[in-house]
Structure 1
Amino acid sequence: MSTASKGPARPTTAELEALPLAPPAATGLREVVRRRYLLGMLVRNTIKSRYQGTVLGWLWSYLQPATRFLMFYFLFQVMIGRGAGTIENFAIHLFAGMVIVHFFTETFNGGTQSLVQNRSLITKLPVPREMFPVARMLVAAWHTVPMLVILVIPCILLGWRPDPVGMAAALLGFSLAAALGLALGLLFSVGNVFMRDVGKIAQTLTMFVTFSVPMMYSYTLVEERFGPTGAELYLYNPMAEAVLLIQRGFWTGTTSDPAATAEVHLPDHLFTRGLAMTAVSVLLLVLAQRVFARLEAKVPERL
């Protein structure tokens, strides 16, 4: 009995490895946007692989941040009180910062490892290699959405209502984190191809982000301990600025007097600093893409 044809068989891993290196492809972030269908497939496959073999699947992206927030709430709101007696709704203050720090670190670390982890695709398919760090940034954004949902729910219960200034602040904070994270992801990803220690350096750097932003402590504490000059130097950290922006968007609106909270716990010229640092991060992204373009031709043979 003859069997119906099922189409051409998919190549095995050994057959893929035997293929010659792919010819050079058009490069650049603009080319990545032009091939957004392929980019979307890469993002979906990356997300699916993360939850492969689990029963709850993507629901874990909600359960894990929800559990983390409840732990913070119990510890700081119930057991300790108001964040050691200094910050109202400290759990919101902490979790808001954690949302944007998570987005940045996952973009940075994921982008750094993206070329090495996709070596089989890079060496065989003629695609712009910037696509892989960009895909990891989009995956990070996808995982950040559930954290935002978990953040918004208690904010609403505590009386928060979205306001244009606050939403603009949060959007600016995410834009800053996205541009900076992608720029560093591009630079470190190509560096990681030539020297694997670069990936370890990236992981070490992101460990410091959690402690170098006003998340587990307030910006006011920085001013008290280090004075105006020290606080000014502290604000040169772009992620500290990003955290303050998202706290302006969500946390301040949950306090009993949002205007007074913003005046006391947020620095002056918050938006001006945010816009300046976002512009610098975009410039760094342009420079990172140029460095990436100069080195990417050697990536397939080094992988």
Structure 2
Amino acid sequence: MTLDDTQPVRVVQGGERRAASRPKLSPLDDARYRAPGDSRWLLDTFRYPHLLAMLLKKGTSTRYYGSVMGWGWSYVKPAMQFFMYFFIMGVVLGLTRGLELFPLYLLSGIVLINFYSEATRAATNSITGNAALIKKIYLPRELFPVSSVGSAFIHFLPQLVVLLAVSMMYGNFAFSWLAIVKVIVALAILLAFTLGLGLLFGALNVAYRDAKNIIDVFLMFAVWMSPVIYSHEMLRNVVPAWVYQVYMVNPVTVAVELFHEVFWAPIVSEPQIPDFALTNTIGGVGIALGTLLLGQVVFRKLEGDFAQNL
């Protein structure tokens, strides 16, 4: 038996030649092993699709567990909210006189505001609500806010179907590629903005439980901070120009106005489409992505202390 000349050798006493043993890699040096927390941020959620699917299933299946109506509440609650705003704002205060087909205008915004409020609140509470799991094992903590927003989006889909059906009942609504693109852009903006807020306040809520209360107060004004129950024209006449411009690039406002353009404007005779709609949309996209980046950075900065603070 001969030794390969290319292998390192060492000479021992008596002239015997032996192959030098190669140093073994420690598990910590092996590329297959990664330290807990050494993730690729939100991209890591796609490395655990089974866990994400389980959390989504939990969020959707247990929401109405033990309820007689079950998923029917996904229709009843927004319907009650719609009728309340329609009667008070439309009938009592007379806003219907300024907006043609006010019920459809109102419904187009209400469904988005409901999704935005529910998803932001759920994502903020997602880390503290899974404290027992986080303290026992490691998994990408971003999975919890992502699954919370995903579950809220699943419950939003029936409301979107109702909005589409009502819009088609009102008049000559027709599908178009531009309408589909506007709906996708509106939902993408709102998803990015909501997830960014969820990551930011979800992380802060672990160390400072005031974050949950801040979000609750903030969401109380959500329906008033976007043109849901009034037209953007009404605000432009009573606030400074720069306030109106900031208001119009608010990601929630951009998403609501895109929904108005798709589900309401094609049916009415004189729709109130905002000036510089494309510019506002680009600004909303930038703010939504900036919020998502900020939320992810803060989340990664604070997640090392999650188990300790929980």
Which TM-score band applies after superposition, normalised by the shorter structure?
A: 0.7 to 0.9
CA shift at 1:25, angstroms? Answer: 4.6
Distance 1:81 1:134, change over 3 A: same
Query: How is 1:121-270 mapped onto 2 (pairs within 5 angstroms)?
Result: 121-159=133-171, 160-226=173-239, 228-255=241-268, 257=269, 260-261=270-271, 265-270=272-277
| Distance in 2 between residues matched to 1:204 and 1:70, nearest whole Å | 23
Deviates more, 1:216-225 or 1:132-141: 216-225
Is the counterpart of residue 111 in structure 1 residue 118 in structure 2? no
| CA apart distance, 1:167 | 2.6
**In structure 2, do the counterparts of structure 1 residues 81 and 198 end up closer, same or farther at CA, with 3 Å as the change threshold?**
closer
Q: Aligned-pair distance for 1:280? A: 3.0
Name the larger-Rg structure.
2
Q: Distance in 1 between matches of 2:297 and 2:242?
A: 35
Separation (CA, whole Å) in 1 of partners of 2:89 and 2:170: 16
**Number of matched residues?**
274
Aligned twin of 2:292: 285
The alpha-carbon deviation at position 51 of structure 1 amounts to 0.6
Query: Deviation of residue 66 (structure 1)?
Result: 4.1
Task: Find the partner of 1:46 among 51, 59, 67.
Answer: 59
Deviations 1:84-105, CA, capped at 9 Å, x for gaps: 3110111111111111112222
Q: 1:242 to 1:163 in 2, by over 3 A?
A: same
CA distance in 2, matches of 1:164, 1:199: 40
Greater helix fraction, Structure 1 or Structure 2: 1
Following the alignment from structure 1 to structure 2, what is the Cα–Cα distance between the partners of residues 155 and 132? Answer: 35
Deviates more, 1:57-66 or 1:183-192: 57-66
In structure 2, relative to structure 1, the CA distance for the partners of 1:291 and 1:30 (3 Å cut) is same
Q: CA deviation at 1:43?
A: 1.2
Per-residue deviation, 1:252: 0.9
Unaligned 5+ runs, structure 1: 1-22
CA distance in 2, matches of 1:165, 1:88: 23
Q: How large is the RMSD of aligned CA atoms in angstroms?
A: 2.3
Structure 1 residues 233 and 287: CA distance shift in structure 2, 3 A: closer
8 Å contact kept, 2:89–2:229: no
* Partners of 2:206 and 2:306 within 8 A in 1: yes
Distance in structure 2 (CA, Å) of the matches to 1:53 and 1:141: 22
SS at match of 2:99: coil
Query: 1:67 and 1:197, CA in 2 relative to 1: closer, same or farther beyond 3 A?
Result: closer
The SS at the match of 1:178 is helix
- Mapped to 2, the partners of 1:287 and 1:226 lie a distance apart of 29
Quote the sequence identity (%): 30
Q: Provide structure 2 residue ranges, at least 5 long, that are not aligned to the other structure.
A: 1-34
- Residues 219 and 266 of structure 1 are in contact (CA less than 8 Å); yes or no, is this contact kept in structure 2? no
Q: Are residues 70 and 197 of structure 1, via their aligned partners in 2, closer, same or farther at CA, if it must alter by over 3 Å?
A: closer
Q: Mark the CA change 1:116 to 1:214 in structure 2 (over 3 Å): closer, same or farther.
A: same
The answer to whether the 8 Å contact 1:112/1:199 transfers is: yes
C-alpha deviations, 1:166-218, integer Å up to 9, x for none?
33222222111111111111011110000111110011111111111111100
Go from structure 1 to structure 2 and tell me whether the alpha carbon gap of 1:71 and 1:156 turns closer, same or farther (over 3 Å shift): farther
Say if 1:72 and 1:91, in contact at 8 Å, map to a contact too: no
Q: 1:230 to 1:124 in 2, by over 3 A?
A: closer
SS in 1 for 2:221: helix
